Amino acid sequence: MNTQEHLSNLLEQTQEIAKQVGSFIRKERQHFDVEKVEHKGFNDLVSYVDKEAEKKIVAALSKILPEAGFITEEGTNTTKADRFNWVIDPLDGTTNFIHGIPVFAVSIALMEYDELVLGVVYEVNRHECFYAMKGGGAFCNDTPIKVSPAPDLSASLIATGFPYYNFELIDKYLAALKSMMQKTHGLRRFGSAATDLCYVAAGRIEGFFEYNLNSYDVAAGALIVQEAGGTVTDFSGGKNFVFGREIIACNGKIQEEFTKELQEIWN
């Protein structure tokens, strides 16, 4: 990618793609037939809306950056490229969508080699488009956003996601919940990791943690958090949060305390 101007142009086009697909998802929810839900695995649900949304995203992104590859949740296109790859979750929060709970989003990120350079998350129900590009700050509906200034866990609201099919770490997870309940303003489980991350970026919550996530769940939101002034790591405090299946995102000020608390439980 030659210039920041080119990346900025891609970001603008990606926002429009996310909004258009979000409009399709919102329309389909109005007359959604629960009997059309498929099971990829235990409690791992998918619908024709997920699949069709992904096809629309892949087709549109292929036009604006033809040389890029794809990492997609529903497998519409799994051809990876050497330099650029789109990382796509067409409907993050499928279970919410199926049940009519209004927290679900379109998530699109672009990676250059192993670096996140662009991220867009469109929360369908509130019509909120969160976006960022590397070095360009973070925004929601054209308004700059920043992480919360809360200084410690005791002043923080924390979001997480509950395990719904891989229960091998459930005891550690419950221990983490117990700890956070006693040391923070409280816990929230919205059901969409992409949305959780954007809420960290916008300063609505101070931190988010979850394990057993995929790259397409977190890639866009992670960059948005970073560009909003927050920090994103794996549970060890390292950088393997896109593909490492575990993530801690926060406002930065609670990073040391937050990470130490989780490490003591997980290790």
Per-position DSSP letters for 187-247, written without gaps between them? EE--S-HHHHHHHHHTTSSSEEEEES--HHHHHHHHHHHHHTT-EEE-TTSSSTTSSSSEE
d(CA 139, CA 229): 12
89 labelled binding-site residue: yes
d(CA 70, CA 256): 34
Q: Is 71 exposed, middle or buried (0-12, 13-18, 19+ CB in 10 A)?
A: buried
Joined tokens for residue 189: 């489980």
DSSP for residue 67: T
SS3 call for 118: strand
The per-type count for the chain, helices as H runs and strands as E runs, is 7, 14
Residue 171 in marked binding region: no
- The Cα diameter of the chain in Å comes to 50
CA angle 143, 191, 234 (to 5 degrees): 80
Nearest to 205, CA basis, from 262, 246, 160 = 160
Q: Residue 104 in 3-state DSSP?
A: coil
73 assigned to a ligand binding site:
yes
Tell me phi and psi for residue 158, to 5 degrees: -115, 140
Known binding residues for Mg(2+) are 73, 89, 91-92, 217
Residues comprising the binding site?
73, 89, 91-92, 217
